[in-house]
Structure 1
Amino acid sequence: MGCDGNGCGSFSEFTLNKKSGIHPTAIIEPGAQIGENVTIGPYTVIESDVVIGAESTIGPHVVIGNGTRIGNKCKIFKGASIGLEPQDKKYAGEKTFTIIGDNTLIREFVTVNRGTTESMETRIGSDCWIMAYCHIAHDCVIGNDVTISNGLAMAGHVEVGNHVTIGGIVPIHQFTRIGDYAMVASVARPFTDVVPYALVGADPTRIAGINSVGLERRGYSQEQIKHIKKAYKILFRMELSLNAAIEKLQEEYKDNKDVMFIVDFVKKSQRGIMRMGKDM
């Protein structure tokens, strides 16, 4: 994506591009930067310090707040509220940002709050699907190719890796991390960190195994999947302490980048990692 906290690289100045299709009832404040072939629907409000990349579509009754940077070919549906002030009592009006990558789709009535001074930004990657009525709070970081179903409630400072799928009506506790290629079931409650490649069940919320189907679809070989399964067995099944499991994985799989990716994730965990259900 060509956007950062200062703007999008594909623009040379802040202007309303004449090739964009802006409805006459839309309110575009002076200083907003609108790319070529952008469509903006009726009664939408775009505040002054906003960048919208080329060929994006902004639906009706959308509000896009100061400090928002939207990539190319994005689509934002009716009633979404993007980049407004965070729901954080410590926030005092500082200049912070909301960054959204290319080709990302945001459905009806989604709310995305901009960052606070702790990280200065809320970030959503490229090629994401954020479905209706989701809330993404301040300072969250969402990777690329992430699909989130309806009704998610994501608290502040959550980190979601790349190629993650999250079901509907999922609350995610603040500061929780969800690793790459994980799949979280609808109505699950991930209040601790979810390791990469995990398949998370909902009742109760526990790791049910690895996301084998998702890995196969993204080109992982059977050999790679076999090693990840063995790593899960060591981490979750051998009744080792977490430190002992990490040491064993580092000894046996030091040259396996997929397993070392899990190890690195676990070592950085501050909230602790979600465990595998005993009946799985």
Structure 2
Amino acid sequence: MCRPQGTITISQKIHPTAIVDSSASLDNNVEVGAYSIIDADVKIGDGCRISNHVTLRSGVSFGNDCSIFPCAVIGEIPQDLKFKGEDSKINIGSNVTVREYVTIHRATSARGKTIIGNSCYLMAYSHVAHDCVLGKEVTLVNGVHLGGCVDIEDYAFVSGNVVIHQFTKIGRHAFIGGGYRVVQDVPPYIMAAKEPLTFTGVNLVGLKRAGFSNEVLRNLKEAYRLLYKSSLNVSQALDEIRKTLPDTEEIKNVLSFVKNSERGII
């Protein structure tokens, strides 16, 4: 085992078969399991637990109290043929859980960083491609695959075996049903299912659990009725929402997301 100079403390537990580069930085109370490999320029925050057979490549940084389960590979080069070895990073927040066989790839020059926000939960066999950005408390269930440059906003929930096309955006508090293919943007606060993927209602259960008021839920239901259930086109629906609904944070989020969608909304 190669020990980082001046960064290992007595409170750390590093298995003797682990390989830790001398330039890696490990804070207090870090555990590293058997046969794990930690490359140069890796930074691991306080209280992180790196299980056995984990691979952490150069340029990866963790916040505090993350749990990385066996056979996860984080920081490998992207599967992008345009990648020419440019310097890039992966920034992972605090309290993040990465389960077995998850893969997270370094960014390209397009964005320079792949970002996983605080308290995200990436379940087994999920894949986060280059330049993706996940907000806080995002859940990817088993087998979710993200293409490059996918953006997923805070509190979104993506069910098992969903595949998401590159450059797609998923709004905050959105819920995507299992086994579907996502090729257009999914607006915030909604549920999406069926083939092709479509709006199936406001995510009422998730929003109630998150503490949203009945008034907020009524406003969101009306906003999405105008977008999806009226005779108005998208531009007309947005105008009507601006005219008839209160200027709340949630309505602003809906208007901004739809207006700025580049792939179009489902």
Please give the range of the TM-score, normalised by the shorter of the 2 chains. Answer: over 0.9
Deviations 1:84-125 (A, max 9, x none): 111111111111100111001000000000111110000001
Structure 1 residue 15, shift from structure 2 partner? 2.5
What is the count of residue pairs matched by the alignment?
A: 262
The 8 Å contact of residues 21 and 40 in structure 1, kept in 2 or not, is answered as yes
Residue 99 (structure 1) aligns with: 91
Q: 2:128 aligns with which of 115, 136, 147?
A: 136
Counterpart secondary structure, 1:138: coil
Counterpart secondary structure, 2:182: coil
Whole-Å separation in 2 of the counterparts to 1:197 and 1:14: 47
Q: 2:12 aligns with which of 12, 20, 43?
A: 20
Structure 1 residue 17, shift from structure 2 partner? 3.4
Residue 247 (structure 1) aligns with: 239
Counterpart secondary structure, 2:252: helix
**Does residue 211 of structure 2 align to residue 219 of structure 1?**
yes
Counterpart secondary structure, 2:114: strand
Deviations 1:149-176 (A, max 9, x none): 1011110000001011111001000000
Whole-Å separation in 1 of the counterparts to 2:101 and 2:263: 30
Whole-Å separation in 2 of the counterparts to 1:273 and 1:188: 15
**Aligned residue runs from structure 1 range 7-156, under 5 A:** 15-156=7-148
Structure 1 residue 257, shift from structure 2 partner? 2.1
Output the TM-score relative to the length of structure 1: 0.91
Supply the AA of the counterpart residue of 2:100. Answer: E
Whole-Å separation in 2 of the counterparts to 1:105 and 1:46: 18
Output the TM-score relative to the length of structure 2: 0.96
Whole-Å separation in 2 of the counterparts to 1:149 and 1:261: 25
Deviations 1:9-56 (A, max 9, x none): xxxx97233421000100001110001011000110000100000111
Supply the AA of the counterpart residue of 1:250. Answer: R
Supply the AA of the counterpart residue of 1:133. Answer: Y
Return 167-176 or 17-26, whichever deviates more. Answer: 17-26
**Does residue 170 of structure 2 align to residue 178 of structure 1?**
yes
**Aligned residue runs from structure 1 range 202-213, under 5 A:** 202-213=194-205
Whole-Å separation in 1 of the counterparts to 2:6 and 2:234: 52
Identity of aligned residues (%): 39
Deviations 1:223-255 (A, max 9, x none): 110000000011111121211111111122352
Counterpart secondary structure, 1:231: helix
Whole-Å separation in 2 of the counterparts to 1:85 and 1:262: 35
Whole-Å separation in 2 of the counterparts to 1:145 and 1:224: 21
Structure 1, unmatched stretches of 5+, are 1-12, 275-280
Supply the AA of the counterpart residue of 2:98. Answer: I
From the superposition, tell whether residues 18 and 93 of structure 1 become closer, same or farther in structure 2 (CA, over 3 Å). farther
Structure 2, unmatched stretches of 5+, are none
From the superposition, tell whether residues 217 and 14 of structure 1 become closer, same or farther in structure 2 (CA, over 3 Å). farther
From the superposition, tell whether residues 203 and 166 of structure 1 become closer, same or farther in structure 2 (CA, over 3 Å). same
Whole-Å separation in 2 of the counterparts to 1:16 and 1:86: 30
Whole-Å separation in 1 of the counterparts to 2:128 and 2:96: 14
Whole-Å separation in 2 of the counterparts to 1:164 and 1:15: 36
Residue 230 (structure 1) aligns with: 222
From the superposition, tell whether residues 14 and 272 of structure 1 become closer, same or farther in structure 2 (CA, over 3 Å). farther
Whole-Å separation in 2 of the counterparts to 1:14 and 1:227: 56
The 8 Å contact of residues 187 and 202 in structure 1, kept in 2 or not, is answered as no
Q: Which runs of 4+ in 1 moved over 4 A?
A: none
Q: 2:249 aligns with which of 250, 257, 265?
A: 257
